[in-house]
Chain A
Amino acid sequence: MASNQVRIIGGTEGRSALTELRELVGELVASRDLLSQLTIRDIKLRYKQAVMGFGWALLMPILVVSAGSIVRLAISSTAGHGLGLQSLAGVTIKSLPWAFFVGSVSFATASLTGNTSLVSKIYFPREVLPLSCVLAQAVDTLVGGVVVAIAVPFMGARLTWALLWIPVIALLIFMFTAASCLFLSCANLFFRDVKYLVQVLLMFGIFFTPIFYEPGMLGARAYLVMLNPIAPLVEGARLVLMNGHNLLEPLTPGTSGTDVWSPWYLGYSAAWAICGLVGGTLIFHRVQYLFAEYL
């Protein structure tokens, strides 16, 4: 099969984005073994010489939950009622996707600049470098997910048909994270200070994402925090698990406590995830010929 393959380098300007996307998907499928090898490498390295082993996978969510508990305690004391198990469960559920996003983005941002010798010497689809970071982080998140899945039923989570939304939300979070990682990894290659910017954004990002609090607590301004594409996804996950809410139906304050929801929120996040992934991969693919020159 290989001998019939003809590859032309150069003179390829003016191809449509669709042709490029098709070529890119083909390349990625062809390099699935490489993607899995790099993911295995990342996971092995993370656990090989680490005393904590798989405890690493839980460290970040546990920290988020602990911090969240303190914040919730403060809020509930001010409001004058006790700290409910329900609100702790909410923080626990949301800590997982957040830890996944933060972990993926912080590893992936340096994935191209950290593999200089590979990128400047050997040809392979460069997308696999940031994507393997996301996949390795996804494995961590799965481990954490098992623990959360065992814990939340005791904290008031309900087994309903609405749980079918969880795979959809997981997929959208994965897509949005992959898109961010592709974009930031190549941005960091061209502008080396991007990684510092990312650090700062991730540090304060938790305040712009409803992890420690629910958007409903913002009252009429709830939509503001929902502008963050991750916000509807984490909030959706909580509503599905804790309230058994069908995400196609809106929620207004009053009907069910302070919770707010609109199906448009989900559509908004989905648009970000899909457009981001298509755009991110296209940008990445178009500029990857410049990687070796700029490294």
Chain B
Amino acid sequence: MSEPRIVVDHLWKRFRRGERQDSLRDLVPALFRRLTPGRKEPELGANDFWAIRDVGFEVQEGEALGIIGPNGAGKSTMLKLLNRILRPTSGTIRLHGKVSALIEVAAGFHPDLTGRENIFLQGAIIGMRRAEIARKLDSIIDFAGVERFIDTPVKRYSTGMSARLGFAVAAHLDPDILLIDEVLSVGDMAFQEKCIARMKQFKASGVSIIFVSHNMQAVSDLCDHALSLRSTVQHYGSAQDVIQSYVTAMGSEGGTLGHPDVNIGPVVLRNAEGRDVTTATSGERLQLEVTYTARRDLTGVHFGLLLHRTTDGLLVYDANFTDKELGIRQWRSGEPVTIRFDLTATVTRGQYHFDTHVAETGTGVLLARRNPAMLLRVDELRTWAGIANLAVTASARTTERVASAVRV
């Protein structure tokens, strides 16, 4: 394999918390303070913090890397470092080829200029030649779908329209490396699909992509690898694995109770042959076994089982099973109960996780919760998107003539 397009090596970025002196009036006393001896600032002052700590990764030609992480994890800082807007405190980034960014696609627009004038302006700002823009003008206008308003000032455009125009300009870039930051949050569904399709097209033509997003579904759709960031690299590997571990980590923070009355675990997922699995094909029969241990005597409780789609948090399934119907009469403190949930994975391709809890039936008070309790990846080749596996089989009734034509 040739040298990677992007090499990030031991990257550190320090930021300062709080107010800076940003007027001359404040500067003079600040200078005096600095001149007084014995008040020198250390390497990482009390008000400094590391936004990026020792981050390293590589991206090959035609590869897409997703960067995920909670708010304030340094994702945007990382993009700004890659885009030369910020300079690293230490460490290096090597970029091979022309870098373009799909960040704030309409930032260069001026409200008083027309759509056409803004195309030339924004194009120049993101690094296109005038002649290149002129050549691609029709295609840009067509992509944005604003033909009728192209000579109208952009201030009369709706938010969606100007975002579409901005993306259309950016979509006609010819980069080697593309940095993308949450551009998908603008525009309607149809336009978002158009954006994703364009990004996949970029990737297929060998462009290396770095994609920052909170939309796990989009990351897993577009990216081969992912990096979960929290100032430092938490996980770095295949997109599926990283998203999985990221969601697991998120869940363990907010998904359990402080002092549960029931201990949940161990949890086992088996396929029809009785083997432990985390991956299943769509429509496969599975067995989820969860052991619950009471910490005090309990009656009148129910056990909840939920399934979430990990990538976007969609609740796929939610059901409760009471102790009565499970035949549990007297659940004494310290006694384990193992419940076997037999189920069919009638969901489409994607990343899912189970979530289970125990609650008092009458009051609904939550006694214990474990989320994620178990991860499940469903592989399937037929469906493209969607949630439920409808177990569709397709057949055609045709005349002999049509059938033969199809064969050709």
Contact = CB atoms under 8 A, between A and B. Distances in A.
A106 B86 CA distance: 27
A123 B83 contact: yes
A161 interface: no
Contact of B23 (A45, A193, A289, A290): A193
A256 interface: no
A37 B120 contact: yes
Contacts of A93: none
B79 to A, nearest CB: 10
A293 B86 contact: yes
B92 A11 contact: yes
Contact of B104 (A122, A124, A291): A122
Contacts of B85: 120-123, 289, 291-292
A113 B121 CA distance: 19
A232 B165 CA distance: 50
B152 to A, nearest CB: 13
B90 A10 contact: yes
A5 interface: yes
A33 B124 contact: yes
A73 B310 CA distance: 83
A197 B24 CA distance: 10
B92 A121 contact: no
B91 interface: yes
Contacts of A34: 124-125, 127
B280 interface: no
Given A9-B87, A10-B91, A122-B107, A38 B124 contact: yes
Interface string B366-389: 000000000000000000000000
Interface centre among A6, A48, A123 (most CB of B within 10 A): A123
B103 A5 contact: no
B20 A11 contact: no
Interface stretch (B109-117, B252-260, B313-321): B109-117
Interface residues of B, number: 46
Interface residues of A, number: 39
Nearest to B108: A118
A194 B15 CA distance: 24
B11 interface: yes
A122 B93 contact: no
Given A37-B120, A191-B27, A9 B104 contact: no
A263 to B, nearest CB: 37
Contacts of B108: 118, 122
Contacts of A118: 107-108, 125
B273 interface: no
Given A9-B81, A10-B92, A122-B104, A45 B112 contact: yes
Contacts of A3: 96-98, 176
Given A9-B88, A37-B121, A123-B85, A117 B94 contact: no
Contacts of A11: 90-92
Given A191-B22, A193-B23, A292-B86, A6 B113 contact: no
A34 B124 CA distance: 5
Contacts of A36: 124, 130
A293 B20 CA distance: 10
B7 to A, nearest CB: 9
B24 A10 contact: no
B200 interface: no
Interface in A20-56: 31, 33-34, 36-38, 41, 44-45, 48-49
Given A11-B92, A41-B121, A192-B23, A123 B98 contact: no
Contacts of A221: none
Interface string B137-163: 000000000000000000000000000
B93 A9 contact: yes
B171 interface: no
Given A120-B85, A122-B101, A48 B92 contact: no
Given A8-B94, A44-B113, A122 B15 contact: no
A204 interface: no
Given A5-B97, A289-B87, A121 B104 contact: yes
A214 B22 CA distance: 40
A7 interface: yes
A249 B82 CA distance: 56
A49 B112 contact: yes
Interface centre among B107, B112, B113 (most CB of A within 10 A): B107
Given A33-B130, A289-B86, A121 B103 contact: yes
A10 B103 contact: no
B113 A123 contact: no
Contacts of A191: 22-24, 27
B186 interface: no
Interface string B329-357: 00000000000000000000000000000
B99 interface: yes
A294 B83 CA distance: 17
Contacts of B99: 7, 123
Interface string A103-121: 0000000000000011011
Contact of B125 (A8, A49, A122, A293): A122
B305 interface: no
B34 interface: no
A10 B93 contact: yes
Contacts of A122: 83, 85, 101, 103-104, 107-108, 125-126
B214 interface: no
12 contacts: A3-B97, A5-B96, A6-B94, A8-B92, A8-B95, A9-B82, A9-B94, A36-B130, A41-B110, A44-B113, A193-B23, A293-B15
Q: Which 4 pairs show the lowest CB-CB distances between chains A and B?
A: A289-B87, A37-B124, A10-B88, A2-B98
Interface of B: 11, 15, 20, 22-25, 27, 80-88, 90-99, 101, 103-104, 107-108, 110, 112-113, 117, 120-121, 124-130, 176
Given A11-B91, A37-B121, A122-B126, 19 more contacts: A6-B96, A7-B99, A10-B11, A10-B87, A10-B88, A10-B92, A31-B124, A31-B127, A41-B117, A41-B121, A44-B117, A120-B85, A122-B101, A122-B125, A124-B125, A191-B24, A194-B24, A292-B80, A293-B86
